[in-house]
Amino acid sequence: TVLADNGYDVHIWSRNEEQVNEINEHHTNKRFLQEAVLPHNLKATTDMEEAITGAELVLFVATSASMREVARKASPYITESMLIIHATKGFETGTLKRMTTVLAEELKTDPTRLVVLSGPSHAEEVVRRQPTTVVVAAENMEAAEQAQDALITQSFRVYTNPDAIGVEVAGAIKNIIALGAGLTDGLGFGDNAKSALITRGLSEITRLGMAMGANPLTFSGLAGVGDLIVTCTSTLSRNWRAGSMLAKGKSLDTVLAEMGMVVEGVRTTSAAHELSQTYGVVMPITEQLYKVLFEGKEPRKAAVDLMGRGRKHEMEDIAPIQ
Ligand SMILES: NC(=O)c1ccc[n+]([C@@H]2O[C@H](COP(=O)([O-])OP(=O)(O)OC[C@H]3O[C@@H](n4cnc5c(N)ncnc54)[C@H](O)[C@@H]3O)[C@@H](O)[C@H]2O)c1
Ligand SMILES: O=P(O)(O)OC[C@H](O)CO
């Protein structure tokens, strides 16, 4: 809708014929966007060649689990002149690769020109043209500025950042913290607990990001603090909702089945758990959440263990202790 508002003829590719027909015939996508009416210059197709051929810009919004498969399908139709952007928040399971790495491999394109779009942006609000701010990041600033030009509207304000690694790491890991925020709310803890989780979660994101080559300042921006606030405090967040359902004693399988939409934080917890070991980074919230999700640990016991950790300096492993 953002691109269509800027006058582009937008072609959405989907594997789901019923959804494609609904978008083309009724200009709605009710399962995901309720009553929102979609612009008439936005058309859907199940044919990848038709969706991509002749495009100036290709925006990938696959789930992290399907990015490689979708990119592989798109690859034959991608040309060098196309601006490639993605808005996916997660790592590839198994390889632990960032989404720009997956895209660069599948599309055989210059990784420095791949743009990451992230920040606090629940689709349900974007489609209603409610004020939203995001960041587009690419090593090649010309590519980031092209994305900014294409996407900026009166209700969708776009900032640039050269730190694609930081923006990707922040967008992925905030989903773990949002799951944790849902758990603390579901357990009946107060605002102090949630603020602690958000702030110490930010430390965890910063430590991993720095180890992976990110600029720590990126984490105080839209992709870091901004997205943490929206996903940890909004009932629109699927990750927050999943966490609160887990706190009520539902199994992970039941929660995922009831959600019926991707909860990226689940796979990302597993990936970040491995990344923390690979990079030798201490990630206590991630570690506890991993135990809750995959080892059956009681959420309340996880909270007790987090509170009972050894004494620390607030900026340990981030800034030198004076
Ligand atoms: N929804 C949001 O507000 C929002 C905002 C910013 C970023 N994101 C990110 O965008 C990504 C996608 O999220 P979403 O909200 O669209 O998820 P979703 O679960 O609402 O929709 C995902 C869609 O992908 C389809 N899909 C799954 N596997 C596929 C495959 N192999 N091939 C083709 N299609 C497949 C599903 O059928 C579904 O229609 C996630 O990484 C998410 O974190 C979402
Ligand atoms: O609904 P969530 O928790 O997947 O979050 C969606 C977006 O990442 C919000 O910026």
Q: Distance, CA 322 to ligand 2 centroid (Å)?
A: 37
At 234-275, the pLDDT tens digits run 999 999 999 999 999 999 999 999 999 999 999 999 999 999
Share in percent of the chain as helix, strand, coil (round to 5): 55, 10, 35
- Where exactly are the structural domains of the chain? 2-162, 165-307
9 is in an annotated binding site: no
165-307 topology per CATH: N-(1-d-carboxylethyl)-l-norvaline Dehydrogenase; domain 2 (1.10.1040)
Q: Is the dihedral of CA 295, 301, 303, 305 positive or negative?
A: negative
What's the confidence (pLDDT) of residue 3? 98
At 48-94, the pLDDT tens digits run 999 999 999 999 999 999 999 999 999 999 999 999 999 999 999 99
The yes-or-no answer to whether 2-162 and 165-307 have a common fold is no
Q: For the domain covering 2-162, report its CATH number.
A: 3.40.50.720
> How crowded is the C-beta side of 100, counted as CA atoms within 13 Å?
24
What's the confidence (pLDDT) of residue 321? 75
d(CA 203, CA 206) in angstroms, rounded, equals: 5
| Pure H helices in the chain | 2-5, 17-26, 30-33, 48-52, 67-74, 99-107, 123-126, 141-151, 164-186, 191-211, 227-233, 238-247, 252-259, 264-279, 284-294, 299-307
Q: Distance, CA 239 to ligand 2 centroid (Å)?
A: 7
Question: Is 98 close to ligand 2, i.e. is its CB under 6 Å away?
Answer: no
Does 194 participate in catalysis according to the annotation?
no
Task: From 225, 235, 215, select the one nearest 173 (Cα to Cα).
Answer: 225
d(CA 80, CA 123) in angstroms, rounded, equals: 29
Q: Which of 174, 194, 291, 312 is catalytic?
A: 174
- ipTM of the assembly? 0.98
239 is in an annotated binding site: yes
Rounded to two decimals, the pTM is 0.97
